[in-house]
Amino acid sequence: MDTLISIKPLLAVLVSLLAIPFIAYSRSPNVREGWTFLAAIVKFGIVAAMLPAVLNGMEISCSLVEVLPGLSIAFRVDAFGMLFALVASFLWIITSVYSIGYMRGLDEHAQTRYFCFFAISLSAAVGVAFSANLLTMYLFYEMLSLATYPLVTHHQDQEARTSGRKYLLYTVGASIGLVLPAMLMTYHLTGSLDFSPQGILAGTASRGTVALLLFMFVFGFAKAAIMPFHSWLPAAMVAPTPVSALLHAVAVVKVGVFSIVRVITAIFGTDLLQTFDLSTPLLLVASTTILVGSFIALSQDNLKRMLAFSTIAQLSYIVLGAALLSPKGVTGGMVHIAMHAFGKITLFFCAGAIFVATGKKNISEMTGIGRRMPVTMTAFFIGALSIIGMPPCGGFLSKWYLVLGALDADKIAILVVLLFSSLLNAGYFMPVVYRAFFCPPEEALFEARVQEAPLCCVVPLVITAVISILLLFYPQPFMNLAVMAAAKFTGI
């Protein structure tokens, strides 16, 4: 595949950074939100402009500066990077609309700081998507952790302080403690950190070191919330909902998973893992995370914490898909990034809308809310279906490919895990929906005067709900991006 040298990837990353001075020093809130919205649209426009080139096999690359001998801060847009960037930048547009409604609804303080750091985190997320080597990815990964810290601790109260401390300790601590040494060892072994389709570690180290490096990377990217390093995600739910919606459902956690899949496929290479058969331990880790995450989600009463644990479980689907090493499995994993993003963001939007409208946080207090907020709850239902993987929604597609992948790799145990976890997903979503719609009138806790959330909140969640349905029928951009990426990585 030939590469096209162009400045677009750099522009895509920089556009939200360049918008910050305007956002920071705009006179009135409307102008500030206007700038954010404009920045989001322009960013999505640039990313989409690169889509046709990527679709017919081209890779767009742009190198900034040669930082170390043989290593430079460089961008390289391939199918996998494009898929994630597309999802992230598109959802930023919707989230910026949603956060206007949400922040105005609760008249939060320091909104300028909120929008500025939001823009920085997005540019970091897209930076990770487009990075050409492990160094650039590490740079943007760290930038993202530090840019999201002020967002997570937005309320500046004691609880935000402790969860911010935990958030930093896990993400930056694990990345310095595990990813940095692993990256340096790889550089020491192979002399380069560039992502290449078949991986660079082939034949340079013994099975022991490769296994050690693999697990240092997997657990180092703590943003993917894999089991032992997951407890920062529920704690980060203390952030305002648009932050949890975009960052802790789409941008931040997906960056973690994206980095892991990128490292597995482009640094280690699928056939290296095959020969050393390191995929089984990886699958074990992913499936334990899925099952344990889903079990904990069952017992949660706070809606956002339940969604957080469900995110932990869903993320490990993606890692599972990659670890299956079969083309269908990898495709399933990659498509799940998009499907889960749209599904989960709808659920978080609904949680936010409920909070804005009624101030309720816990599921037990939400009996009969369906009558009062029908649109939000139907969107919640659609989102839930997509996460569970039921047909009318896109989630079904990724589950379908994951199951096929498991069959190809003839790992029946994984098949059981997939199906059982879908059951568990249904287990913790359906009671919420049932209690919202089918409870008898006298139990309904809401009087007549409670009505829908402000329009700015409802419209985005409707859009994402509709998209997650459409994705089943027209998964075009994401599906063939995923197929191309999977084909490239598994060498078929």
Partner 1 sequence: MSAHFPGLVIIIPLVAAFLILIGALLDKRLAFPLTALALLGSLVTAIGLLARVMQVGVVEYHLAGWAPPVGIAYRVDHLNGLVLVAVAAVAFINLLGTRPLVVEAFGDRLGPFYTLYILLVAGLLGIVVTGDAFNLYVLLEIAALTGYALVGMGEGRAPLASLNYIFMGTVGASFYLLGVGYLYLVTGTLNMADLAVRLPALYPSKVVFSAFVICLAGLCLKMGFFPLHAWLPNAYSYAPDPVSSLVAPLMTKVMVYVMVRIMLFVFTPAFAFDLTAISEPMVWMAIVAIVAGSFLALSTRRLKRMLTYIVVAEVGYMVGGFWLGNRLGISGAILHIINDAVMTLCVFLAAAALIARTGSDAIDDMQGLFKKMPVTMAVFVIAGLSIIGVPPTCGFFSKWYLISGAIAAGQYGFMAALLLSSLINLVLFFRIFEIAYFEPFEDHHAEHPTGHGRVLSAVQEAPLELLVPLVVTAALLFALGIYAGDIVSLIIDKAIPLGIV
- Site residues (vs partner 1, CB under 8 A): 65-69, 71, 135, 138-139, 142-143, 146, 150, 153, 156, 160-161, 164-165, 168-169, 172-173, 176-177, 180-181, 184-185, 187-188
Report the nearest approach of partner 1 to the CB of residue 21 (Å).
Answer: 14
Q: How far apart are CA 346 and CA 198, in angstroms?
A: 36
- The two three-digit tokens of residue 345, written as one number: 């963001």
Percentage helix, strand, coil, to 5, in the chain? Answer: 75, 5, 20
Crossing angle of helices 8-24/29-55, nearest 10°?
A: 180
* DSSP structure string for 145-169: HHHHHHHHTTT-SHHHHHHHHHHHI
Closest separation between CB of residue 138 and partner 1, Å? 6
- Residue 65 or 448 having the CB closest to partner 1: 65
Q: φ, ψ for residue 27 (rounded to 5)?
A: -70, -55
Distance CA 403, CA 391 (A): 14
In the complex, the smallest distance separating the C-beta of residue 34 from partner 1, rounded to whole angstroms, is 24
Residue placing its CB nearer to partner 1 in the complex, 134 or 485: 134
- Residue 323 C-beta: closest distance to partner 1, Å: 27
| Closer residue to partner 1 in complex, CB, 127/395 | 127
The residues that bridge with 194 in the sheet, in sequence order, are 133
User: Which DSSP string corresponds to 458-487?
Assistant: HHHHHHHHHHHHHHHH--HHHHHHHHHHHH
Q: Which residues pair with 61 in a beta bridge?
A: 5, 76
Cα–Cα distance, 233 to 309 (Å, whole number): 8
CB of 22 to partner 1, least distance (A): 18
Please, what is the minimum distance in Å from the beta carbon of residue 173 to partner 1?
A: 6
Specify the residue, 69 or 203, whose C-beta has the smaller distance to partner 1: 69
Is residue 288 within 8 A of residue 302, CB to CB? The reply is: no
Residue closer to partner 1 by CB (options 68, 416) is: 68
What are the start-end ranges of the H helices in 175-238? 180-190, 207-220, 232-235
Identity of the residue, 187 or 446, whose beta carbon is nearer to partner 1 in the bound complex: 187
Residue whose CB is less far from partner 1, 177 or 427:
177
Closest CB to partner 1 among 175 and 468? 175
Contact 341, 315 (CB under 8 A): no
Token pair recorded at residue 430: 């359906």
CB 471 within 8 A of CB 343: no
Residue 197 CB, nearest distance to partner 1 (Å)?
Answer: 25
Residue closer to partner 1 by CB (options 164, 460) is 164
Nearest distance from C-beta of residue 292 to partner 1, angstroms: 27
For residues 229 and 179, is the Cβ–Cβ distance under 8 A?
no
Rounded to the nearest whole angstrom, what is the least distance from the CB of residue 163 to partner 1 in the complex? 12
* Residue 320, number of CB atoms within 10 A of its CB: 28
